[in-house]
Structure 1
């Protein structure tokens, strides 16, 4: 799970599917969105979204 924490730390506004893709690129491990969601929850991390209002 340190890899998941590093992914979230690098880009806190990434959506779960992006985190899954990045994990697969770096480690070759493919996980589902629900698995990534559980990993993020267990680490007590939050996905912070940056919204641009114009």
Structure 2
């Protein structure tokens, strides 16, 4: 069984969300601060438990 047939996801860019104002930003570059308010962002592609 080939795993790429089960989960075709392949990261081509990041999708980030601000921890303070909830602004979302899609970017091919790593985003470390929210462009709206300057607060920390989290990468939504990283699984959380």
TM range (shorter): under 0.3
What TM-score, normalized to structure 1?
0.25
More helix by share: 1
Higher gyration radius (CA)? 2
More strand by share: 2
What TM-score, normalized to structure 2?
0.26
Higher relative contact order (Cα pairs below 8 Å, separated by 6+ residues): 1
